[in-house]
Chain A
Amino acid sequence: MMEFMLMGGYAGYVWSAYGITMLVLVANVWMAYRFHAKWLKRAQEEGMTKVSTRQPRVRRIS
């Protein structure tokens, strides 16, 4: 186990590379879900006020 952790002397490089990758992947999941949630919320808020009060557009002929 200790040998595995030491990575043949490259521990600092290998673990930091994997750690940063993990961090970036998790951060990206979080950002994508937050982006989705943000616009779903906005759609809920604006949908209530704007769509429901909007009158259907009627084009009058002449």
Chain B
Amino acid sequence: MAFIRHNLVRIVNAISLLNTNFWRWFHQLASPPHVFALAGRVCPWFAGLAIIFLVAGTYGGLVLAPADYLQGDGFRIIYVHVPSAYLGMLAYMVMASSAAIGFIWRMKMAHGLAVSAAPLGAWFTVLALVTGGIWGKPMWGTYWQWADARLMSELMLLFLFLGYMVLRASFDDRDKADRISAILAVVGVINIPIIHYSVEWWSTLHQGPTIAKLDEPSITMDMLMPLLIMIIGFTAFFGWLLCKRLQGEILKRERQTRWVDGLIKGRTA
């Protein structure tokens, strides 16, 4: 009995230690100087990773991957189209989840992260729509199809990003803008599964999923590898610019505080 009790105490202690570490970490994430420093530290790593993977992925996609038996070399657009579409959705999830955290725990830094993700997500969604259109012209015979569910839900994603930014811009009070735009971001999450399943629910022009499905991906290894490398490269690229933008956003929000003043004096001195 003593043995069991002793071990139970040890487990509970370990959990509570983990718990206090977690909450310390969580509170540090709410502290602007800490987040600013953290973003500054990880930024160059993301930048380096992004450049290496984007160059390698582009080379792999344009040169190493074999031509498709149906689409010939035209299929190579996949290496820029799929990563940008995926990144638009990732950016939306980052934006919505950090906006939700900011809303629930009143963390200003989480709202700052959401604000930083929005323009990046909007640009990648534009990129997905444009490269998709360019790919669609030779394969489907049209740049755009209003009746296609995937195309419409992707356009919806762009409008959600733009709506989030416009809604924020319409408030003078930043706290109010943070809270109200967070609601829009969270409600808009419903669009993410709609985008993903649109090609299955409404079988229209856009092709079905290639990688993100339960059975084996319907693409050969030498075509898949450059795509995965590009996806990592795009994700790192997003991380890089997200950190840079977050730092800018923190400076914007905290520019009249003592710690920013100290930071600038330390930097210029």
> CB within 8 Å of B: which residues of A?
4, 7-10, 13-14, 16-18, 20-21, 24-25, 27-29, 31-33, 35-36, 38-40, 42-44, 46-47, 50-52
Contacts and interface: CB of A to CB of B under 8 A. Distances in A.
B156 interface: no
Contacts of A33: 244
Q: Which 10 A/B pairs are nearest by Cβ-Cβ distance? A: A8-B73, A10-B74, A43-B255, A36-B248, A39-B251, A7-B73, A8-B72, A21-B80, A32-B241, A32-B244
A18 B264 contact: no
Contact of A39 (B77, B241, B252, B257): B252
11 contacts: A7-B73, A10-B74, A10-B138, A13-B74, A14-B62, A18-B77, A20-B134, A32-B120, A39-B255, A44-B268, A51-B261
Interface stretch (B12-20, B122-130, B170-178, B197-205): B122-130
Interface centre among A9, A27, A32, A44, by most chain B C-beta atoms within 10 angstroms, is A32
A8 B95 CA distance: 40
Interface of B: 54, 58, 62-63, 67, 72-74, 76-77, 80-81, 84, 119-120, 123, 126-127, 130-131, 134-135, 137-138, 237, 241, 244-245, 247-249, 251-252, 254-258, 260-261, 264, 268
Contacts of A18: 58, 62, 77, 80
A8 B261 contact: no
Given A13-B74, A46-B256, A36 B237 contact: no
Given A50-B256, A52-B261, 14 more contacts: A7-B73, A7-B74, A8-B72, A13-B135, A14-B76, A17-B77, A17-B131, A17-B134, A21-B80, A24-B127, A32-B241, A39-B252, A43-B264, A51-B257
A44 to B, nearest CB: 5
Contacts of A35: 244-245, 248
Nearest to A11: B73
Given A8-B72, A17-B134, A20-B130, A32 B237 contact: no
Chain B facing A: main interface SS: helix
A41 to B, nearest CB: 9
A14 B73 contact: yes
B76 A7 contact: yes
A40 B63 CA distance: 42
A16 B244 contact: no
A39 to B, nearest CB: 4
Contacts of A39: 248-249, 251-252, 255
